[in-house]
A and B are shown apart, each in its own frame.
Chain A
Amino acid sequence: MSRTIRRRLLVVLVITAVIAGAGVMLAIRATASSTRQVATENVTIDVPEGPGSAGQVHLDATVYRPAVTPAPAVLVAHGFGGSKNSVSTEATALARRGFVVLAWSARGFGASTGQIGLDSPDYEVADARALVDWLAKRPDVVRDGPGDPRVGVTGASYGGALALLLAGTDRRVDALAPEITWNDLSQALFPNAASPTSIRTATPAAGAFAPDGVFKRDWAGYFFGAGLAGAGGLCGRFPPEVCAAYVQAATTGSPTPEIVQLLHRSSPAAVAGNITAPTLLIQGEHDTLFGLDQADATARQLASAGAPLKVIWYAGGHDGGEPDAALQEQVGAWFDYHLRRKGSDPGTGFDYQVPGIFGTRSGVAQRTVHAPTYPGLDGVPVQRRELTLHGGPQPVIRPPGGSPAALSSLPGLSSALPAVATNGVAMDLPGQTATFSTDPLPDSLEITGAPQIRLRVAAAQTNTTAPPSDAVLFVKLYDVGPDGRRTLPGAAVAPVRIGPLAADGAPTEVTVTLAGVVRPVQAGHRLEVAVATTDRGYALPPQPAGYTVSLAPDGHLAVPVVPGEQAAAPLPVVQLAGLGILTALVLALGIVAALRRRHSEDADSGMAGVPLVVSGLTKRYPGGLTAVDDLSFRVEHGQVLGLLGPNGAGKTTVLRMLMGLVIPTGGQLRVFGHRVSAGSPVLSRVGSFVEGPGFLPHLTGAANLRLYWAATGRPAADAGIEETLEIAGLGHAVHRRVGTYSQGMKQRLAIAQAMLGKPDLLVLDEPTNGLDPPQIYAMREVLRDFAARGATVLVSSHLLAEVEQTCSHVVVMHRGRLVAAGTVAEIVAAAGVGIDGVDSRHQLEEAFLQLVGRQAIE
């Protein structure tokens, strides 16, 4: 390699190294910032037990300290049944962002003492206020004023309600991010989605929130059970009044006024109108416990109080998974901006995720739509598309005991069985269900919120019972495909209690808000409203009853639609930069390789007439085997040289090195003065047959030779294919697939291939192996002719007679070394074998044995 080339190579390598180094640095920096050290500190915080008690409750808490303090603080509250440990991921992530994070086990949970007060203002909310006090005393927390730390609060479900309740009762809260939580707990547990009067329609998911609802038995039981965990007795860690309320509700299915009162006190609805702190409200679209209507109610309250508000509906919830890392990232960004003015303003818009209509291997594909505001809060109501429903009055029956009952979801199980959340388990029962259907939709429609419908329900006389005084029904909205497949979006059900019903069978007309969902409905699909008398998730009246359900005269379905822009993902800069760097690297390597190739010639013009000079040739294989050891010999123009040696002498290795297949460990070969390396151009003057034939078995003999010649890239006219085919003597067999050839036929074809283009040096390795005597004879003739025309032939063989009869000169090898070289006569003489008295046929053999024997003794 010349000096300039080496310098250029160096420059390219340096540039490459710099680029690679920069990439590594960037990667390390990115990693370092995300794993910035977070210190944790376990503390026990004592808070008053409650009004009218002098005792204390010990709250088990963890403080997550960021690398840099003082910093704003964030309270992270856990969900029902959890503890401070269940929010450690979120807490750590927020601390890494640079917040002092306080996570604690609510009273009655984890290692905290006390009893579960259901986010009561007197207990849990008072505790949270005490925690704010506690934070205000810490030197590592930024303060807005004396006793007023800069603090945000977040949490999901039980923790989300606490965030709202705290912010509604403590002005010191500067920002909050409640997730998948309730607005009115009595409506969440005793929902009633029907109202005789009209229901507000401005916001997309407004619920009826009518009184006297239907008990959401399964979910309530599931949560009561979670509160019992780890504690004995019927009431576990619940205080007697909460326990009694649950027992009352679970046994009768209807709440007493005291229970309603208790649930109201634990509801953000009571205080959300006081909140003015910026709020990021996250609610799930797969949530049969706290549906979109709950967040809708909170949003209305916050908007009227003037709190900056951003609403996110995501494709999850109590049935479909907690907010994922991407959403937690948004929570972090919310606090970044609103607690310390870091990052860009997240704004006050409305984002909703549209779940795909089917799952893929990596889960359900989904997209996020961004609308500038949550509709209905600024006076502009949400768009509603009115679809005409068809279907006459239909009788439905509630069986005695409410069994068998329809199935819509599996509370608490859906998140454990993702397939349930994705595909649903909805099942209706004949005789219990009235259905009203739209025509197939002419174009696709995206349901975004809670559709409304007006229904008429009348009591019906059955054979055995008197007409019922009120009706408990479950209203569902199915997406029905052209093939009849029904999907219940969000597994959502709107339970209604309508009453009193007229005993004479006169219908009562009500407006029903269906459960809020986000669902893309394809063109050609129908929407079907199903009104069922039973649902396994709810407490049903045990008395059998019959009703007649019909559409109100203007009984269309009003479907909310929120137009918005698809949130466009930012351009993936890092990956694109990576692609650029990669391309540059490959190009640079290509240039270096081309430069190297162009300057790798090594020719000795003085030897241009010598077909082959082997000097000091050595090949050692890893593992210590020396196949060829310091071998030197010459082949002069016009010679037919025999390379003779027993099997394993290294003949084939020499020939492989001559062909540039095996790279010598020492020494060199020069062909017509040019040093041989892999792919040396001078090899085009060498025709070779080494260690058996090599053909494409699926092609004919002729095609093999033609394609081989075509692969050399040389003019077709130079090949002499017809002549060489004649030499091969295969007759019509050349038009048969090589796979059908005998070994001898392949052998002859391979030797013919070696002769293509009339090479100046012909190298043949054991050419007569597998040939019969007439063919061997013909082969000798061919080789002599070849040499006579001015070419040089190198034949390797372990057959002495062969070499003796074909060759003018001999090189004898043994164990990789040269034993003797010269004319046949010289070798014989050197070996000291008497010419007389020995059959000439055996002369060389004698000589050979002598030579090899001598070598072996040495």
Chain B
Amino acid sequence: MTTHGAAPGYRATTTLPLRVELVRQLRRRRTVLTLGFLALLPFLLWLAFRIGRDDRTRGGATLADLATASGLNFVMFTLFSTVSFLLVVVVALFFGDTVASEASWSSLRYLLAAPVPRGRLLRQKAVVAALLSVFALVLLPVVAMAVGVVAYGETDLISPTGQSLAFLPAASRLALVPAYLALQLAWVAGLALLLSVSTDAPLGAVGGAVMASILSQILETINALGDLRDYLPTRFNSAWADLLASPIDWTHLASGAFSGLTYATVFGLAAWWRFATKDITS
């Protein structure tokens, strides 16, 4: 069935194919730079550990001390040092920039008049942003793993609870980390998307989502808030470390996934509602 009244060959369900949107995004310098930086970061960390010297001989170990214990620990350290800020920025960038930048270039109105149905445009853009985000979440540990194994060998992982995990089981546990991070960071994606359809300033959308993350982490440090802090979206952002304990304690992981997806759903629906009903004046 051809769509009513459409030009020949036009079908709403084939507008803005993912491939096209992906090309549109991948040809942007910010995409390439972001992914390139993530791929470069493990090398910078490796260099830092090589150049720097730690002369402390007493006191307890920190995560950084163990980073060079094995390739896997290097991956763990890389994730640990990027989860609370850098990866938030990356996800916020891919989702927050996607609609707002089209609005700022005025190309949004031509896409919508093509016409790409609004719901579909938002969905395709969200899917591509999600693909890029997941790629970034996988890229970082994969490069870190390559750098780590070459630099520090494929010995056992020392988990935060002091357990030794053999290389292969530990590597498969680490492979689950990006999956969890993707679920946990979904709230950033949802919020950034909501902001992206609400403003014509890409920086505002990205910055807004990052600020929300920072605010949440600040509130998390206030002990007086007690159990209320469990409702903060960043509350479970370090629960991925639970994946490295034996046996895995799924409590915080499930809480983090639930919290992340709930926020993402609420923000995502709000974004969809806002975008479907707003007047495009950019």
Contacts and interface: CB of A to CB of B under 8 A. Distances in A.
Does B bind A?
A: yes
Interface of A: 354-362, 365-367, 422-427, 443-444, 446, 481, 483-487, 519-520, 522-523, 566, 568-572, 575-576, 578-579, 582, 585-586, 589, 593, 597, 601, 603, 608, 656, 659-663, 671-674, 678-686, 688, 690-699, 703, 707-708, 710-715, 718, 753, 757, 759-760
Given A522-B162, A699-B27, 13 more contacts: A356-B159, A356-B160, A360-B238, A426-B58, A522-B164, A568-B249, A603-B4, A661-B109, A681-B4, A694-B105, A694-B106, A712-B10, A712-B15
Interface string B1-19: 0011111111111111100
Given A481-B61, A566-B247, A710-B17, A679 B258 contact: no
Interface stretch (B91-99, B127-135, B272-280): B272-280
A789 to B, nearest CB: 15
Contacts of B113: 659-661, 683, 686, 688, 690
Contacts of B159: 356, 365
Interface residues of B, number: 83
Nearest to B279: A662
Contacts of A662: 279-281
Contact of B10 (A671, A681, A688, A693): A681
Contacts of B276: 678
A681 B115 contact: yes
B7 to A, nearest CB: 4
Given A712-B10, A712-B15, A572 B251 contact: yes
A520 B163 contact: yes
A608 B4 CA distance: 11
A226 B186 CA distance: 51
B17 A673 contact: no
A366 B245 CA distance: 9
B20 interface: yes
Contact of A707 (B3, B6, B23, B109): B23
A362 B80 CA distance: 12
Given A427-B58, A603-B4, A362 B110 contact: no
B115 A683 contact: yes
B107 interface: yes
Contacts of B3: 681
A656 B106 CA distance: 13
Closest 4 CB pairs of A and B: A694-B106, A520-B162, A713-B14, A679-B117
Given A484-B57, A698-B29, A593 B63 contact: no
Looking at A361, A424, A698, A760, the one whose CB has the most chain B CB atoms below 10 A away is A361
B257 interface: yes
Nearest to B249: A569
B108 interface: yes
B50 interface: no
B107 A694 contact: yes
Looking at A662, A708, A714, the one whose CB has the most chain B CB atoms below 10 A away is A714
B7 A684 contact: yes
B258 A365 contact: no
A417 B62 CA distance: 17
A698 B162 contact: no
A718 B61 contact: no
A487 B58 contact: yes
A422 B58 contact: no
A575 B257 contact: yes
A575 B255 contact: yes
Given A683-B114, A707-B23, A712-B15, A718 B8 contact: yes
Nearest to A670: B5
27 contacts: A357-B160, A357-B161, A360-B63, A360-B160, A361-B84, A365-B160, A481-B65, A522-B164, A572-B255, A578-B262, A582-B261, A593-B119, A601-B4, A659-B115, A661-B113, A661-B280, A684-B6, A684-B7, A684-B114, A690-B109, A690-B113, A694-B106, A695-B107, A711-B16, A711-B114, A712-B10, A714-B8
